[in-house]
Amino acid sequence: MPERITQRRIATELGVTPATINAYFGGRRALGIEVALAVLKLTGIPVEQFSQRLADEIRYKACP
């Protein structure tokens, strides 16, 4: 079973407050590419699972 990661740990790793992470995940604050990629790196959750828009944007930027 993969290790569970808390919003508090994600916040610490990203250098933001837990409230900011909660706002991202609750849809009250827009995610950017950097945050989406950091969440992917920390959790292993594909960006497509939490933001199809960002996943498409990342693919677009990767293929100029």
Handedness of CA 9, 14, 33, 64 (dihedral sign): negative
Average pLDDT, the chain: 89
Confidence at 64, pLDDT banded by 50, 70, 90: low
Query: Which long-range contacts does 23-32 make (Cβ < 8 Å, 24+ apart)?
Result: 25/50
Say yes or no to pLDDT of 29 above 70.
Answer: yes
